[in-house]
Amino acid sequence: MPLQATSGAASYDAFGGGVPAVPNYIEEVFSTWLYTGNGSVNGISNGIDLTKGGLVWVKNRGSAQNHVLTDTARGDDNYLSSNTTTAATSGGGIYLGDGFAAIGSSVLTNSSSNTYASWTFREQPKFFDVVTYSGSSSTQNIAHNLGSVPGCIIVKRTSGVEDWFVYHTSLGNTKYLKLNTTGAEASGFAAWNNTSPTSTQFTVLGGRTEVNAAGSDYVAYLFAHNAGGFGLTGTDNVISCGSFTTNASGIATVTLGYEPQWVLIKRTDSPSEWHMIDNMRGFSQTIDAWLRANSSAAENSTYKIATPTATGFVTDGTNIIDPSSSFIYIAIRRGPMKVPTSGTSVFAPFSNTTSSPRTLTTNFVSDLAIQGYVNTTAFDGNISSRLQNENYMRTTSTTEEYTGFQFFNWASNTALISNDGNATKKAIYAFSRAPSYLDVVCYTGTGANRTIAHNLAAVPELMLVKRRSTADAWAVYFGDPTDYLRLNDPQAAVDEISRWNDTAPTSTVFTVGTDTEVNTSGQTYVNYLFATCAGVSKVGSYTGNGSTQTINCGFTSGARFVLIKRTDSTGDWYTYDTARGMTVLTDPYLRLNSTAAEVATLGSVTTVSTGFALDATVLAAINASGGTYIFLAIA
């Protein structure tokens, strides 16, 4: 009997209906969490249950302070520093549980107003394991519970001063690196006894103070490599320990099979730093904010290291990424992997009614945001994503990507609605990427018909494509690969082949043709992909009846956001949201293709429990008799 998945992706039956196997997801075992110290008790609820074992790694971002690594095997408030040889000590102030807490006022982890980055690794087969052991004068095999062959092992003597020794599968069992130094790969002695690790044990040479001295205590952090074990089927990889060699321009394209959220990179054939980048601090198309595992130095973003892609990353080719050089890495998959079940976990509309500065925080990791003035003729539909970082575009315009104005702070996960001289009401929409709901893909054009990978894990039903590097119109796919719309234009659907090559997208790729709007050689693009997610979002269509009708989206608490566009004739991109009102008393709309101010109506589109309702007697344009319309609704 085959494995039979349940509809909610919560569990699936074992062969013959045996013990249910519960899927694992990356968001349950790894987190990058940024926080500001408070000098007292700072509870971090990052969704990672460390009562199951694991490691928290903390670094002060703003000043030169040691790294702090605290794990459950050695206990609370006991830490090591990856940039020093120092033995384990107390006073780091990190306490582990369901999430963790930074307690006290140590400048290392919780000094008031200091900013910190934390990375939490939970013990989980085929992802990560923590092992402690006592040294011996004889070579010994150390048991572990990683459940797969380790791709990387980091060992530190905890009872005395010693370097951090690193095994990496790409270097083999005769070589090692040191995490606390810039040194190149070395093979001065057989730290691993020239023996490769297995799925149950690793080997350390007897008598060596670095890895196995009699009377000394050690900790080992083990990272899996392409071992599967995650996702609904249990076959998805979430961590990779690999290597690459750059070309003469210092560029390498690394294929992981997924988009990474965290990468540790080290050159091996010559001295270099251990650079750490993640998507919360700025691993994006535009900048990298990096720290160095071997250094106490503050966070830096003076140059790029790598750019994430839907299937891996591409090195930048300047500064630390040298030409014709060899590197190793550890990469962790971007989450979430779990399909959302509520709209409030992936979407939030905001509105302010005054010019006073406001900071609005979402209860999820935001990846896409739209913002604009609503009560002047200056609505511009600013749109940006975490992948674009501080760059943004406008839904109302063909203009290329702008720089220098950040209306959403991706690092702090907050919407910035401030008094910038316009003294006007503003609206902002925040979206989180999630399977079957939303994905964002950045790519570079080739000028030839091609497919491009995405991670929506569902067939895209609505795609908004925009050239970033130079001016061009928005190209919109709405379910028909022979037609297109333009987000910045009220035009009706147009029939042609050069945008989608008459090819519908699949659950893994979308197709672009040769048109400049989607695929000019050497130009950069972004694609925002939406799909129907049960109870969360609905991409659909309806035929107008010239009166009133209800659009059933399968929701239970009504739509909080609705985008409507007529396709058989000219028609604006009408936008409604519950933050500004979707009732018969307060129901204003904006148009993403127009700079006009919001227009108040008394119930042209209102929220109802199953979705939304239309009233052509209030606004004929959204429900004209015989007209065909597409919509995106979010619960």
Residue segments in the chain with a per-residue pLDDT below the cut of 50: 1-17, 419-423
pLDDT at 586: 93
pLDDT at 407: 82
pLDDT at 71: 98
Helices (H) and strands (E) in the chain, counts: 1, 49
pLDDT at 328: 98
The pTM assigned to this predicted structure is 0.94
Cβ–Cβ under 8 Å, residues 499 and 566: no
Q: Can you tell me the distance from the alpha carbon of 148 to that of 126, in angstroms, rounded to the nearest whole number?
A: 6
**What is the side-by-side order of every strand in the sheet holding 561-566?**
537-543, 628-634, 561-566, 573-577, 590-591
Cα–Cα distances (Å) from 429 to 145, 370, 398, 542, in that order, read 43, 5, 21, 24
**What amino acid occupies position 480?**
D
Q: Can you tell me the distance from the alpha carbon of 444 to that of 468, in angstroms, rounded to the nearest whole number?
A: 10
In tens, the pLDDT along 178-195 reads 999 999 999 988 999 999
Q: Can you tell me the distance from the alpha carbon of 465 to that of 213, in angstroms, rounded to the nearest whole number?
A: 59
Burial of residue 58 (CB within 10 Å: 0-12, 13-18, 19+) is buried
Cα–Cα distances (Å) from 243 to 151, 240, 272, 291, 547, in that order, read 11, 10, 15, 20, 62
Q: Can you tell me the distance from the alpha carbon of 385 to that of 235, in angstroms, rounded to the nearest whole number?
A: 29
pLDDT at 424: 62
pLDDT at 419: 44
Q: Can you tell me the distance from the alpha carbon of 93 to that of 329, in angstroms, rounded to the nearest whole number?
A: 29
Structure tokens at 52: 């199951």
Q: Can you tell me the distance from the alpha carbon of 487 to that of 572, in angstroms, rounded to the nearest whole number?
A: 9
